[in-house]
């Protein structure tokens, strides 16, 4: 019997929807793989079958480049009413935008809305960038928006590269009222000794802050040929730094599906933690996500 799981990070989309322009854009190579592989439906029937096979009983939908983002949460709320999942929604908002308050008001009309995901990863190699602004973490307007999330009882889910982790830790330390979830394991990109040290030191600085959690996911995006053994040191380091009480597993599907099956992702996490105490495994696979997203 598979351990009970919450999938703390997945997407949903349809080729026929007008709201996913990335599915109609020219194919391009990105850090996560070629976008051609994402141009397919990923919706209720497929997800529920995959989830059932892995004993995934609840899930968290994370913004899926929906256009316009202001309409995404309501659309997924309606989807959840029809299909019984997801059980929480993380949306997209411009934290430095002039309409931040009004936009958050709209998202918060949906009872499943839990927080905001923002992709700020910047690297010297343009392939690994999600933003052109390498200084966004120092932007006073962005930091004010980050603080506003905490005032509203919402979490911030931030995706950065290893070189940005220390700056993210500074933001988190300055705003302890905003729960922070570090996205996709802190993106351990290049794996050279210097980068690995930056990644570990940055994640350690974040782990020192009790209101910061980490989502262990997206490892296929930064290692397209990963194996259970190749990701084992990353997973073990993060669990040691954050403890199971502040770490959670997730599939990042269908994006990580470019490089592995849903079963392979979850089976790897099960294998890596096979010797962990039952309570620690329960936290990593279910309980931390349940607490973080109020499930």
What is the predicted pLDDT for the residue at 194? 84
What is the predicted pLDDT for the residue at 121? 93
What is the predicted pLDDT for the residue at 134? 87
Give me the domain span that covers residue 167. Answer: 5-292
The number of distinct structural domains making up the chain is: 1
What is the predicted pLDDT for the residue at 148? 98
What is the predicted pLDDT for the residue at 133? 87
What is the predicted pLDDT for the residue at 2? 95
Outline where DSSP puts E strands in 29-96: 29-30, 33-34, 56-62, 88-91
Name which of 157, 58, 76 is nearest 112 in CA terms: 76
CATH number assigned to the domain comprising residue 196:
3.20.20.140
The helix/strand/coil state of 6 is strand
pTM of the model: 0.97
The helix/strand/coil state of 33 is strand
What is the predicted pLDDT for the residue at 267? 98
Name which of 224, 222, 219 is nearest 9 in CA terms: 219
- Report the alpha-carbon distance of residue 222 to residue 207 in Å, rounded: 21
- Report the alpha-carbon distance of residue 287 to residue 244 in Å, rounded: 9
For 289, the token pair is 């996500």
What is the predicted pLDDT for the residue at 248? 98
What is the predicted pLDDT for the residue at 168? 98
Q: What is the 3-state secondary structure (H, E, C) of 105-158?
A: HHHCCCCCEEEEEEECCCCCCHHHCCCCCCCHHHCHHHHHHHHHHHHCCCEEEE
Residues of the chain with pLDDT under 50: none
């Amino acid at each position: 019997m598979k351990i009970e799981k919450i999938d703390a990070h997945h997407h949903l989309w349809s080729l026929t929807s007008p709201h996913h322009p990335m599915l109609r854009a020219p194919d391009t190579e990105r850090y996560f793989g070629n976008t051609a592989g994402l141009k397919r439906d990923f919706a209720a029937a497929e997800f529920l079958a995959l989830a059932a096979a892995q004993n995934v009983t609840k899930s968290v939908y994370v913004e899926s480049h929906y256009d316009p983002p202001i309409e995404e949460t309501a659309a997924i709320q309606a989807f959840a009413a029809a299909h019984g999942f997801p059980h929480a929604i993380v949306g997209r908002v411009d934290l430095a935008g002039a309409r931040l308050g009004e936009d958050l008001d709209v998202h918060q009309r949906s009872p499943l809305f839990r927080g905001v995901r923002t992709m700020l990863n910047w690297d010297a190699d343009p392939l690994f960038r999600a933003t052109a602004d390498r200084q966004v973490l120092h932007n006073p307007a962005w930091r004010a928006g980050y603080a506003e999330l905490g005032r509203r009882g919402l979490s911030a889910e931030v995706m950065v590269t290893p070189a940005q982790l220390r700056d993210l830790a500074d933001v988190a330390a300055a705003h302890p009222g905003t729960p922070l979830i570090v996205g996709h394991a802190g993106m351990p990109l290049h794996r050279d000794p210097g980068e690995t040290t930056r990644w570990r030191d940055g994640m350690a600085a974040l782990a020192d802050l009790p209101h910061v959690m980490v989502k262990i996911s997206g490892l296929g995006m930064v290692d397209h040929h990963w194996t259970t053994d190749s990701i084992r040191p990353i997973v073990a380091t993060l669990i040691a730094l954050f403890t199971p009480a502040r770490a959670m597993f997730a599939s990042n599907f269908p994006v990580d599906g470019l490089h592995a099956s849903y079963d392979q992702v979850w089976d790897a996490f099960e294998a890596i933690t096979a010797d962990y105490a039952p309570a620690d495994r329960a936290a990593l696979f279910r309980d931390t996500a349940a607490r973080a997203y109020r499930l």
